Amino acid sequence: MGLDRLDLWQIHDLRTRQDIEEIEGPGGALRAFVEAKDAGLVRYLGVTGHHAPRILEHAVKNWPVDAVLMPVNPAEAVLGGFLDRVMAAALDRGLAVIGMKVLGGSHYISPEDGVTAELLLRFALSREVSTAIVGCASPREVQTLARVGREFEPLAAEEEKKLLDLFRPHARRMAYYRGGI
């Protein structure tokens, strides 16, 4: 890649207790990650997950990581686990929180209900995230979401309540990326 150092290297898609045991165990990836950081090959270490909040919470609390990539969307606010427990643990340790699946589940609710990509991005940015990763399907979406980021206005309590009420009946389906909820 022509680089002397990676800025962020992440252990990706942590899902199960077995994953934790293998990664933490003798010859596991965690040791290699820490050695790479100690050698100056990596600036920051991270962990990602969207399958099981308790598994990701373990890594956030116990691993020498600097960042966590996790889902940040209204379905997660309804279901609990990531936004309350994992994010709280990350913030307690001073980790960077990177929001993913920001627009997750939006295809279950129509714009006629008032749910737009802009509203979902405002929801994510109203949390204590360091950054949010948002997939876009067109240059217009990139422009729209960049504008929302530049002109960010936190959600008012009334807006958030309405949004969560819309997501509540659909949250389990919207969080399709989770394991057995």
- 83-134 pLDDT, tens digit each: 999 999 999 999 999 999 998 755 556 667 788 889 999 999 999 999 999 9
Q: Is residue 110 part of a domain?
A: yes
The CA distance from 168 to 2, in Å, is 47
Q: Is residue 181 part of a domain?
A: no
User: How many structural domains compose the chain?
Assistant: 1
Q: Is residue 179 part of a domain?
A: no
Q: Residue 108 has what pLDDT?
A: 58
Instruction: Read off the pTM.
Output: 0.94
The CA distance from 14 to 36, in Å, is 20
Torsion of CA 16, 19, 24, 28, to 10 degrees: 180
Q: Is residue 95 part of a domain?
A: yes
CA distances from residue 62 to 24, 30, 66, 90 in whole angstroms, order as listed: 10, 11, 11, 10
User: Among 10-14, 42-46, 137-141, 158-162, which stretch is predicted with the lowest mean pLDDT?
Assistant: 137-141
Cα 25–Cα 68–Cα 178 angle in degrees, nearest 5: 85
**Three-state SS at 125:** helix
The CA distance from 169 to 171, in Å, is 6
Pair 64, 32: CB distance under 8 Å: no
Domain that holds residue 135: 6-173
Domain with residue 161: its CATH number is: 3.20.20.100
Please, what is the average pLDDT of the chain? 93
Q: Is residue 74 part of a domain?
A: yes
Q: Is residue 96 part of a domain?
A: yes
Q: Is residue 12 part of a domain?
A: yes
Q: Is residue 109 part of a domain?
A: yes
